[in-house]
DNA sequence: ACAAAAGTGTTCTAGTTACACCCATGG
DNA sequence: CCATGGGTGTAACTAGAACACTTTTGT
């Protein structure tokens, strides 16, 4: 690290930091799904801005990083404070600091992506009275700042991660049917998968186990499965391709 | 973004930012290769620290982000200032802000990885008199701060990128033999590749063209190739797997 | 002549894709 | 009895891995 500006936190008589520091924020693109099976929809959590600039616009939840706070912790905290939502999957996407992205001055944000299980959506109106709401990913309102771009980047990151990691299971209840898992993957990937191939591959992978019950519905009941975390960890450790 | 602390750059009478802002730096893990063919070595560019803390230790080049400066631009600038090296490939790896990583206080760094062509190594001793030196990646000195971890992360990122992008060509001269390309890929990936398979695949890919000359050496001369940027762009646009 | 790197095809295997029919249930 | 989603196997194709000998040059 360069020593040209006296470093942050230096004590005593040395001069303080010469240049204005960029502000550092975290923003979180939060995804979840609602509906069941053939009517599954990807949705995004947004908050309404209470102040200028962009007062009244929708934005990604986020905020300033506290002193001595880790970036992931800051993202989780902001999400909880602003929306009452506790994430179950959180991943860093990138740092973005394009000049001019915030009209108030130079602000660098560390973008994260989070996933919330379908059954834990209960939003708490946040302390500072801003609204948090779910929007369908396909029909978003205009977003504040460069948040439309950020969201696009997060979506992209997610698509790639899904192809390489277990994120799907973060969005499902403990017991689920293969069709539910498949529909979820299809929603996240944005493309259809062949049912027979999917079932074969996912069962051959060996990290799922049948459980006693069945999912009752309007039609033929479906076998329930659960994830075997141990087998699953072993599977991903080998860096074997996931079945989708 | 949270409004709890008055935002950076807000004008007039509002209170200023309440919390100390984390300092924001960029660090760059710079890789290159030296030697030819069967004696090719991956090397890393480090600078010697002139001040405490870690005075005299080796560290990644890097420094503070200037006002209204983009992150990538900051990384390129620091690299040039500190080492005289102009990068030809630069990619963001991640932001790291683990509390305690800098003894002077809360410092978040945006880690980048850069590649330098083998024939452009001329280091300029930097203005502030610090040393810049290449080290073999396999035999590194102890590093300042958490830079050993950062370097590991950058190496990892690079391995993954090589599997998915054209970074190899950033390290080669304009005309090169297939063996040179292969040796380079092997060095970066850290594993051997089958020669016949490599040649077939890379030639089938269709983004290389034979050029007139031959590489003269102690042994049988080798056909020279050049990259066809247009074909190459088309190839990667399709997200087809690269031949290695 | 020999040492050293360049150059060249084929076979086998594993993984991926495409595809169609019967089954169980609720209404 | 019919509409809806659950459940199953096989054949064709494609991509990747393994593998050995001949050629050209410098010394």
Q: Are the C-beta atoms of residues B88 and B117 closer than 8 Å to each other? A: yes
Tokens 């959506």 belong to A121
Distance from CA of B197 to the nearest CA of A (A): 22
Mean pLDDT of A85-113: 94
The pLDDT confidence band at residue B131, using thresholds 50, 70 and 90, is confident
Q: Are the C-beta atoms of residues B63 and B78 closer than 8 Å to each other? A: yes
The pLDDT assigned to B11 comes to: 36
Q: Are the C-beta atoms of residues A175 and A80 closer than 8 Å to each other? A: no
- What are the phi and psi torsion angles at A41 (to 5°)? -135, 135
Residue of B nearest to A23 (CA): B8
Packing angle of the helix pair A147-162, A178-189 (nearest 10 deg): 140
- What are the phi and psi torsion angles at B97 (to 5°)? -140, 30
CB contact under 8 A, A95 and B71: yes
Residue of B nearest to A66 (CA): B19
Percentage of residues of chain A with pLDDT beyond 90: 52
- pTM as predicted: 0.86
Give B164 CA → C23 C1' in Å.
44
Chain C positions within 7 A of any protein Cβ atom are: 3-10, 15-20, 23-27
Residue of B nearest to A93 (CA): B94
- Chain A residues inside the 8 Å CB shell of B21: 21, 23-24
Residues with CB under 7 A from strand C: A 194-197, 201, 216-221, 241; B 37-38, 177-179, 195-197, 199-200, 217-223
Q: What angle do CA A118, A123, A129 make, to 5 degrees?
A: 160
B36, pLDDT greater than 50: yes
Q: Are the C-beta atoms of residues B186 and B192 closer than 8 Å to each other? A: yes
Give B56 CA → C15 C1' in Å.
53
The pLDDT assigned to A158 comes to: 87
Instruction: List the single range of A35-44, A64-73, B16-25 with lowest mean pLDDT.
Output: B16-25
The pLDDT assigned to B173 comes to: 85
d(CA B131, CA B47): 5
Residues with CB under 7 A from strand D: A 37-38, 177-179, 195-197, 199-200, 217-223; B 194-197, 201, 216-221, 241
The two tokens of residue A161 are 């991660």
Q: Are the C-beta atoms of residues A73 and B11 closer than 8 Å to each other? A: no
The pLDDT confidence band at residue B156, using thresholds 50, 70 and 90, is confident
**B216: nearest nucleotide, CA–C1' criterion:** D25
Condensed to tens digits (0 to 9), the pLDDT of residues B71-94 reads 999 999 999 998 888 888 899 999
B17, pLDDT greater than 70: no
Distance from CA of A213 to the nearest CA of B (A): 42
Distance from CA of B60 to the nearest CA of A (A): 7
Mean of all residue pLDDT scores within chain B: 85
Condensed to tens digits (0 to 9), the pLDDT of residues A173-218 reads 889 999 999 999 998 888 899 999 999 999 999 999 999 999 888 9
Q: Are the C-beta atoms of residues B205 and B154 closer than 8 Å to each other? A: no
d(CA B114, CA B3): 36
Mean pLDDT of A91-106: 96
The set of residues, in sequence order, having a beta carbon less than 8 Å from that of B47 and lying 6+ positions away, is B58, B59, B60, B61, B82, B83, B126, B130, B131, B132, B133
Query: CA B53, B54, B60, B61: dihedral to nearest 10 degrees?
Result: 50
What string of DSSP letters covers B128-192?
T---EEEEETTSPPPBSTTHHHHHHHHHHHHHHHHTTS-GGGGGS-SEE-HHHHHHHHHHHHTS-
The two tokens of residue A77 are 């905290």
Paired sense of beta strands A23-34 and A107-115, if any: parallel
d(CA A132, CA A78): 12
d(CA A149, CA A143): 9
Tokens 């004590």 belong to A11
- Chain B residues inside the 8 Å CB shell of A150: none
Tokens 């900051």 belong to B74
The DSSP bridge partners found for residue A108 are: A24
Tell me: cis bond preceding B162? Omega within 30 of 0 counts.
no
The pLDDT assigned to A232 comes to: 86
Give B85 CA → D26 C1' in Å.
37
Distance from CA of A202 to the nearest CA of B (A): 23
Instruction: Give alpha helix (H) positions in chain B.
Output: 71-83, 147-162, 178-189, 195-205, 229-237
d(CA A147, CA A81): 19
d(CA A4, CA B231): 44
The set of residues, in sequence order, having a beta carbon less than 8 Å from that of A43 and lying 6+ positions away, is A31, A32, A33, A34, A134, A135, A136, A137
Mean of all residue pLDDT scores within chain A: 85
Paired sense of beta strands A41-48 and A132-136, if any: antiparallel
CB contact under 8 A, B64 and A92: no
Instruction: List the single range of A161-165, B68-72, B214-218 with lowest mean pLDDT.
Output: A161-165
Mean pLDDT of B136-164: 90
Q: Which residue among B82, B99, B110 places its CB closest to the CB of A95?
A: B110
Instruction: List the single range of A48-52, A116-120, A170-174, B228-232 with lowest mean pLDDT.
Output: A116-120
Tokens 């760059």 belong to B28
The pLDDT assigned to A130 comes to: 66
d(CA A175, CA A152): 31
Q: What is the H or E stretch that residue A136 is in?
A: strand A132-136
DSSP state, A223? E
**Which string of b and e fits B47-65 if b means at least 16 CB within 10 Å?**
bbbeeeebeebbbbbbbbb
């Amino acid at each position: 690290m360069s020593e040209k500006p006296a470093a942050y936190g230096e004590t005593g008589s040395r001069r303080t930091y010469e240049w204005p520091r960029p502000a550092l924020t975290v923003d979180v693109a939060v995804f979840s799904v609602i509906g069941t099976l053939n009517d599954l929809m990807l949705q995004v959590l947004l908050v309404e801005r209470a102040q200028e600039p962009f007062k009244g616009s929708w934005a990604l939840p986020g905020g300033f990083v506290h002193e001595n706070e880790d970036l992931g912790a800051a993202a989780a905290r902001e999400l909880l404070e602003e929306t009452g939502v506790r994430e179950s999957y959180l991943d860093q996407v990138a740092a973005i600091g394009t000049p001019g992205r915030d009209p108030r001055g130079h602000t660098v944000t560390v973008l994260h992506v989070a996933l919330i299980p379908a059954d834990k959506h209960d939003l708490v109106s946040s302390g500072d009275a801003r609204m948090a709401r779910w929007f369908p990913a396909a029909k978003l309102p205009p977003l504040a700042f460069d948040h439309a771009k950020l969201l696009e980047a997060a979506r992209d990151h997610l698509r790639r991660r899904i192809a390489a990691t277990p994120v799907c299971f973060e969005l499902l209840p403990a017991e689920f049917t293969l069709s539910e898992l498949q529909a979820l993957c299809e929603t996240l990937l944005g493309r259809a998968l062949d049912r027979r191939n999917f079932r074969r591959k996912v069962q051959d992978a060996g990290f799922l186990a049948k459980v006693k019950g069945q999912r009752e519905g309007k039609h033929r009941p479906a076998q329930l499965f659960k994830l075997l975390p141990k087998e699953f960890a072993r599977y991903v450790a080998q860096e074997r391709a996931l079945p989708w």
